Amino acid sequence: MSSPENFADRLIQNIKLKNSCVVVGLDPRLSEIPTNIQLSSTRKHGQTFNAAFKCILDFNKHVIDIVAMHAVAVKPQIAFYEQYGSFGIKALEKTVKYAKKCGLIVILDAKRNDIGSTAEAYSNGYLGRVPLFENNSVKSYDVDAITVNPYLGSDGISPFVRNSNIYGTGIFVLVRTSNPSAQEIQDIECETERLYKKVGRYVYLWGSGTEGYNNYRSVGAVVGATYPDEAKDLRELMPNSFFLVPGYGVQGASAEDIVHCFNKDGLGAIINSSRGIIFAYKDPHWKEQYGERNFEQAIESAVIKMKKEINLTRAKKTSVNS
């Protein structure tokens, strides 16, 4: 079966193929990476950004090899790469390529946004083609989707929507983030409702026309698992938008908290866990059983456990409503 041309369709195809709504966050904190991998980088390259590049890429490949069967997507958090300058970005570029080759959808967590002409540069870099010399253009990062910030309004969003339509890529706009202080701005009372709902309405408007043949849209929303009531509201407000749901696991949300993120068809949400999977060997739940030496088995057990938990939740949703 050939790959569909709409991002939401490609996502759904991969969800069904793997029977999984799990997204694994690739947030490679050097100090948490198993010592052996750290040492094999520093032995050759010392305390350098080049060693950081090798170490991150090496670790990510281990993670990807294990989760490729069980996760629908990976979500590299660009901050953990970008902080190491061009070396970090090189690690990201190679990670993206490797993950795609392994059949994973790549959602870059970058939370980018800017005024129109600048948003276009971001959008070309991540979702489209960047201009070279003499009107030539080429693909650059070539990810499947990117997270985007709404604060600048539609000017900063439409270049991403445009490329999503042309290249079969997608975006997830921050609506309700998972962090504690999300409340400060996102819960400000606006007219008759809180800000995050107004933003949700905008995002739904911005995504109009990006539906694939499954009727889901390529413009989705970031909706934190740590705010289940808000997720329920947003599910009603944006029925055929995909939710990218952070906050599961280490950030405190359980499978119970994410039930409202799904639709009756068991679709409409993908759930991210980062540290809880990739550094599972440090998690009290797996530490004793595996330890650092068996970090790969810890990753595998953690991702399979998460997949099962989430599929149980999805099953509840579909059975209640059927």
Report the alpha-carbon distance of residue 301 to residue 285 in Å, rounded.
10
DSSP H or E run through 176:
strand 170-176
Q: How far is the CB of 124 from a copy of itself (least distance, A)?
A: 6
For residue 155, which of 109, 131, 120 has the smallest C-alpha distance? 120
Tell me which residues in 221-250 interact with a copy of itself (CB under 8 A).
246
Count Cα atoms within 13 angstroms, Cβ side, for 174. Answer: 20
For residue 172, which of 195, 198, 152, 144 has the smallest C-alpha distance? 144
Q: How far is the CB of 169 from a copy of itself (least distance, A)?
A: 15
User: Which residue from 182, 238, 253, 269 is in contact with a copy of itself, where contact means CB under 8 A?
Assistant: 182
For residue 187, which of 178, 196, 177, 179 has the smallest C-alpha distance? 196
Binding of residue 164 to a copy of itself (CB under 8 A):
no
Binding mask 247-286 for a copy of itself (x = CB under 8 A): ----------------------------------------
Report the alpha-carbon distance of residue 41 to residue 243 in Å, rounded.
37
Binding of residue 113 to a copy of itself (CB under 8 A):
yes
Cβ closest to a copy of itself, residue 124 vs residue 218: 124
User: Which residue from 153, 264, 312, 315 is in contact with a copy of itself, where contact means CB under 8 A?
Assistant: 153
Binding mask 36-75 for a copy of itself (x = CB under 8 A): --x--xx----xxx-xx--x--------------------
For residue 269, which of 4, 3, 9, 12 has the smallest C-alpha distance? 12
111 is an active site residue: yes
